[in-house]
Chain A
């Protein structure tokens, strides 16, 4: 039988505030355990939370960027459960009145555009961190709890079950990350846990309208893990159904080393969170003026940036899409494009050699050793004919190692232009003597002949002749 897959994602994103959601402790990552804590986030009796205004501001900003409706009346609720990462035995969250609803993200997979709905975005606090004594949570006799992260503000972004493949889920996650980065509401560092994803997955016979029973997969802290875990889980569920079994509704964890999802049975019984309104926090009412102000301050979003790169810089769809996929790459591009007219050249290098280098070193563009200005200058040197594509690769490799400017490297490597008129005249005359047909063509008005002759001269001079001088001399001689 053929099966269809249904996927919905729940994404938690830590907000980039300086202080926690309900107390003034620092949100800085790292730090010795239990040093960014106070009576509020430690859950001491009598300590009272006060909401950080920036949390609301960021949630509105993210909501607007994801085309959500911003709800005017907001309240917080307590989600009750016992787990040692919660100091208060409840998490302050939003239950029935999330701040944002009815948004969407348009993703592109295999050249097809698809709209994935966003059900809701709500504000909540993060929990503490458990450091297990053993190698895994299952083999640990005890755990040590660090509450530095407890109370750090989060937004939880819940998608509609609109995705049908691992590739679609990945595309959604990548797009969402880009939007959160562009709006500057989150660091989006998946490795540090500031962007986390849970996937709800079910399978059903193709053509069926009723979704199958879903499993929730946790611990997906990279795009690759997300994709692999979903692919594994789809196969697991199909196999189970084919073998006459049934999928159980449960939480599973992704084991990246083993490459499989495993059932997580916590000591806690059936989830019964007993939500009720948080009595320690008064409602937040967001008026039109507040929403309008945040809207007016929204930065350029990936879709708009892509359109701009295509219109103003002449990039093709595919290149523009890839360049805007991370804010840092788009910024690098804009910066480099300030130094050259040849935006397309910059795009080619970024998506070619630069991306290859980033992948091989497993780093992001922020850590790339060549400055945007130097890359722009290198493209100029290529276009001026100073560097052939072969020499450019050599200079590029040197720039990676030394961080020197391309101009300096051209000199150092003996690649500098010949600007001595006598030397150029000699090559020009030689070339003209060898190509009488081209002179005739040029005189007959075929401009292409000039380009051919320039090319020949550049070849003879191994790309070193000053192209402007070559041009002028050629025109002079052929008059």
Chain B
């Protein structure tokens, strides 16, 4: 077992997810299955091969530096759960 329940707890915390105690075992097992599957790749000899940063055979997709009007404040805030002074209102950020 590479992944322990501790790792799952940590990843859940980083992802802002709550995993019920009852499902801990299941997730731990599934994480390991995924990693074991990915391990098959390690059987290939990749010595001397540059790591792949992107799968498409493309580079230098660039735009010119021209400013264009975006969306209005009203539209921007449409999905905001709470609004204050034209901003997205969020709860306190520091303990």
Contact = CB atoms under 8 A, between A and B. Distances in A.
Do the two shown chains form a genuine complex with each other?
Answer: yes
Interface of A: 17-19, 23-28, 32-39, 41-42, 50-54, 56, 75, 80, 82-84, 97, 130-131, 133, 137-138, 140-147, 264-267, 269, 272, 274, 277, 279, 281-285
B92 interface: yes
A19 to B, nearest CB: 4
Given A35-B76, A265-B95, A266-B95, 17 more contacts: A19-B67, A23-B70, A24-B67, A24-B70, A25-B67, A26-B69, A33-B87, A37-B71, A42-B71, A52-B64, A75-B54, A84-B93, A131-B87, A267-B94, A274-B14, A282-B61, A283-B60
Contacts, number: 143
A138 B94 contact: yes
B59 interface: yes
A137 B94 CA distance: 7
B91 to A, nearest CB: 6
28 contacts: A17-B65, A19-B65, A24-B67, A25-B70, A35-B76, A37-B70, A42-B76, A50-B62, A51-B61, A51-B63, A52-B63, A53-B64, A56-B62, A84-B88, A138-B94, A142-B92, A143-B89, A143-B93, A144-B84, A144-B89, A145-B87, A146-B86, A147-B76, A269-B13, A274-B14, A282-B58, A282-B59, A284-B62
B65 A266 contact: no
Contacts of B67: 18-19, 24-28
Given A37-B76, A38-B70, A53-B63, A282 B88 contact: no
Contacts of A82: 16
Interface of B: 13-14, 16, 53-54, 56, 58-73, 76-77, 83-95
A14 to B, nearest CB: 14
Given A75-B53, A282-B60, A145 B90 contact: yes
Where chain B touches its partner, the secondary structure class is: loop
A36 B70 contact: yes
A83 B93 contact: yes
A467 to B, nearest CB: 55
Given A24-B63, A143-B90, A283-B53, A133 B84 contact: yes
